[in-house]
Amino acid sequence: MTALPLISLRSVSRTYRTDGIAVTAVRNVSFDIAPGEIVAVMGPSGSGKSTLMNMIGLLDLPSEGAVHLEGANVAALSEDRRSSLRARSIGFVFQSYNLLARHNAVENVALPLVYCGVSRKERLARAEQSLQAVGMLHRAHHFPRQLSGGEQQRVAIARALIASPLIVLADEPTGALDSRTGAEILALFAALNRTGQTIVMITHDPGIATQCRRTIRLHDGELVSDETVAELLPRRSAAS
Ligand X SMILES: Nc1ncnc2c1ncn2[C@@H]1O[C@H](COP(=O)(O)OP(=O)(O)OP(=O)(O)O)[C@@H](O)[C@H]1O
Q: How many Cβ atoms are within 10 Å of 22's Cβ, its own excluded?
A: 9
Rounded Cα gap, residues 232 and 229, in angstroms: 7
Nearest in space to 84 (alpha carbons), one of 126, 123, 50, 117 = 117
For Mg ion, give the closer residue by CB, 50 or 215.
Answer: 50
Q: Does 174 bind ligand X (CB under 6 A)?
A: no
Nearest residue by C-beta to Mg ion? 50
Please pick, from the candidates 7, 13, 29, 51, the single residue that binds ligand X as defined by CB under 6 A.
Answer: 51
Nearer CB in complex with Mg ion: 51/104: 51
- Which CB atom, from 21 or from 233, has the smaller least distance to ligand X? 21
49 near ligand X, rule: CB under 6 A? yes
Name every residue whose Cβ is closer than 8 Å to that of residue 135 and which is 6 or more positions away in sequence. Answer: 154, 188
Interaction with Mg ion in 80-99: which residues (CB under 5 A)?
none
Of 29-37, 43-51, 134-142, 224-232, the segment contacting ligand X by CB under 6 A is 43-51
What H or E segment, with its residue span, contains residue 68?
strand 64-69
Q: If contact means CB under 5 to 8 A according to the sort of partner, which of Mg ion, ligand X, none does residue 116 touch? A: none
Q: Which of 3, 46, 73, 164 binds ligand X (CB under 6 A)?
A: 46
Part in contact with ligand X (CB under 6 A); list of ranges 46-54, 76-84, 121-129, 226-234: 46-54
Q: Least distance (Å) from Mg ion to the CB of residue 170? A: 12
Decide: is 130 part of the binding site for Mg ion (CB under 5 A): no
Smallest gap from Cβ 94 to ligand X, in A, equals 11
Where helices occur in 57-196 by DSSP H, the ranges are 79-89, 105-110, 120-133, 149-161, 179-194
Q: Find out whether 82 and 58 touch, Cβ atoms under 8 Å.
A: yes
When CB distances are held under 5 to 8 angstroms depending on the partner's kind, the choice from Mg ion, ligand X, none that residue 174 binds is none
Cα distances (angstroms) measured from residue 80 to each of 9, 58, 102: 22, 11, 28
- Regarding 50 and contact with Mg ion (CB under 5 A), the answer is yes
Where b means 16+ CB within 10 Å and e means fewer, 82-111 reads beebbbebbbbbbbebebeeeebbbbbbbb
Stretch touching ligand X by CB under 6 A, among 44-52, 66-74, 101-109, 184-192: 44-52
Query: How many alpha carbons lie under 13 Å from residue 179 in its C-beta half-sphere?
Result: 8
- Contact flag: residue 224 with ligand X (CB under 6 A): no
Q: How far apart are CA 3 and CA 171, in angstroms?
A: 26
Q: Would you give the distance in Å from CA 186 to the centre of its chain?
A: 12
Give residues in contact with ligand X (CB under 6 A). Answer: 16, 18, 23, 25, 43, 45-51
Give residues in contact with Mg ion (CB under 5 A). Answer: 49-50
